[in-house]
Amino acid sequence: MGGRSADKVKFTSYDDLFGSAEVVAAEEDRSIRVPLGELHSFKNHPFHVLDDEKMMDTVRSIRQYGVLVPEIVRQDGGGGYESVAGYRRKRGSELAGCRDMPVIVRKMTDDEATIVMVDSNIQREDILPSEKAWVYRMNMEALSHQGVKGEDYTANLVGEAAGDCARTVQRYIRLTYLRRELLIYVDQGKIVLVAAEKISFLSDEEQGWVLQMIQDNQSTVSKSQAEELREESSAGRLTEEQVTDILSRKTVSTSVTISAKRIRSYFPQDFTKKQIEEIIFRLLDSWKEKENQTGQLR
């Protein structure tokens, strides 16, 4: 950060750090055309590029108008370029039969490139839970490397672009500790997020038992079952037989629906959804801590 003390720097948004990935070009940026064969994927990027109907729309647009927004890239050590933002445009160019495409070459560190990659994708409407989980984790780590201090503050900064509060960001990051097969079930909607978060605290072996039960019985895991699994695991009592017993039980729905109008009545009119969520989770966490201290939590 230019040698400045991180304690004296106040970050308020991604643009304050590196500018918009799609619009703002720094003075040292270069705009050129690059053969598609010289463009390589960003290391460990979590986004899926599908040849679906939306991609076919992109292909038709490229054939008619060309690539209107250049891809953001940086030079790699092999003489080519590493794609940072614009994977869909590159794939669309390939399917459209193009040999090259316009790019903006930007000098970026690994952490800067990670943040630009996340910022250019996080607001997609079709982003999968697994994609959001990994980009949140990658962005948290990148911002921490940049000197942003405080987990809650960093999580708030990470979730800002997508309108998620710190607690939501932390919940998503927990999904990165799931086995790959379980995370696929989350993407498919076979395991709800709240249950998946609880399962993520189980060991790899314990998650394997859960996965086997789901596969053998074509079933899923409810929130209450996931809570019991985590409780038993934390106490060191969880066995394969217990997993079978817990997931074999029929559960009673404990879902609660609260009127949005009623919730709104407790907050000032200018409060955003993010601010309301933060206060609600803060109050719930405070209540839970108080109940734990008095030994009355049921």
Section 29-44 average pLDDT: 87
Residue ranges with strand state E in 122-257: none
Q: Tell me what percent of the chain is helix, strand and coil, each rounded to the nearest 5.
A: 55, 10, 40
Considering 147-151, 154-158, 199-203, 289-293, the range whose residues carry the highest mean pLDDT is: 199-203
For residue 25, the model assigns a pLDDT of 47
Name which of 107-121, 159-173, 246-260, 262-276 the model is least confident about.
246-260
**CA-CA distance, 58 to 95, in Å (whole number)?**
9
Burial class of residue 191, CB neighbours in 10 A (0-12, 13-18, 19+): buried
pLDDT class for 10, splitting at 50, 70, 90?
A: very low
Cα 158–22–59 angle (5° rounding)? 115
For residue 239, the model assigns a pLDDT of 95
**CA-CA distance, 106 to 216, in Å (whole number)?**
50
For residue 147, the model assigns a pLDDT of 66
Residue 28 has pLDDT above 80, yes or no: no
The residues spanned by each domain of the chain are 29-106, 129-248, 260-294
Which CATH number does 29-106 carry?
3.90.1530.30
- Exposure b/e, 222-260, CB count within 10 A at least 16 = b: bbbbbebbbebbeeeebeeebbeebbeeeeeeeeeeeee
Residue 86 has pLDDT above 60, yes or no: yes
For residue 51, the model assigns a pLDDT of 85
Residue 45 has pLDDT above 90, yes or no: no
For residue 57, the model assigns a pLDDT of 92
Count the neighbouring beta carbons within 10 Å of the beta carbon of residue 209: 20
For residue 4, the model assigns a pLDDT of 33
Residue 14 has pLDDT above 50, yes or no: no
Residue ranges with strand state E in the chain: 30-35, 39-40, 71-75, 81-85, 100-105
pLDDT tens digits along 198-245: 999 999 999 999 999 999 988 899 999 999 999 999 999 999 999 999
Which CATH number does 129-248 carry?
1.10.10
Cα 121–133–169 angle (5° rounding)? 95
Considering 15-19, 67-71, 115-119, 238-242, the range whose residues carry the highest mean pLDDT is: 238-242
Residue 41 has pLDDT above 90, yes or no: no
Q: What percent of the chain has pLDDT over 90?
A: 40
